[in-house]
Amino acid sequence: MVARRAASALTVRVFIDTNLWVYRLDQREVDKSRWIGQWLRQIANEHEIVISTQVLIELRAVLTRKFEPALSAQETRVALHALAQFEVVATDANLVLDANELANAEQLSWFDALIAEAALRTRCEILYSEDFSHGRTFGELAICNPLLEMQGKAQ
C-alpha cells in the first residue's frame, strides 16, 4: 500500500487516522483513492507514520462490513499487514484513561479522543484526519485535513 520510511532524528512524526486509509482502499471514488494514494506515498517518503491498534480495528471493520462489496479475507489481510509495518501504538489502559481526560477537557468524541491521545503519546507533530477541525491544536499536536488540499486542487 505505502512503503515505510526509516526514521531519522529530523523526521516529523505524523499520525494518520482511519478515514484516510479507508479512502485509499475505496475504489467507489477512484479519483479520491488515487489522490490519497499519491498523498500517502509523499507523506511516507517525508515523515514517520504512526497509527494505533484502533486504526487497524476500525479499518478491518470498514473493509469487511461497510465496503460494497466487502474485501475478501486475503485483501483485508494484505491491507492490515501493510499498515502494521508502521509504528503501531497499542491502546492500553493508560491510553484509555488519558483519552477519557482529553475527551472531557477538549469536548471530543470518545473515539476521536483515543486517536488524539495515541498521537500525543507518541509525540506526533501532525494528526491527519477529516474528523477534527482543521488547524486545531492539542499542545504540540496540530490537526490537518489533507482532503481540504484535494478539494482546493479540484476547484
pLDDT at 95: 98
Nearest residue to 64 via CA among 73, 55, 54: 73
- Whole-number mean pLDDT of the chain? 92
* Contact assessment for residue 144 and residue 128, using Cβ atoms and an 8 Å cutoff: yes
* DSSP-based helix, strand, coil % in the chain, nearest 5: 55, 15, 30
Residue 43 is given by DSSP the state: H
Three-class SS of residue 57?
A: helix
pLDDT at 31: 93
Residue 1 clears pLDDT 80, i.e. is over it: no
Q: Cis check for the bond before 146: say yes or no (omega within 30 of 0).
A: no
In this predicted model, what pLDDT tens digit does every residue of 30-82 receive, in sequence order?
A: 999 999 999 999 999 999 999 999 999 999 999 999 988 889 999 999 999 99
Residue 14 clears pLDDT 80, i.e. is over it: yes
In this predicted model, what pLDDT tens digit does every residue of 88-132 receive, in sequence order?
A: 999 999 999 999 999 999 999 999 999 999 999 999 999 999 999
Q: Is the pTM of this model over 0.75?
A: yes
Three-class SS of residue 107?
A: coil
Q: Where do the domains of the chain lie?
A: 13-153
Under CATH, what is the fold of the domain 13-153?
Answer: Rossmann fold (3.40.50)
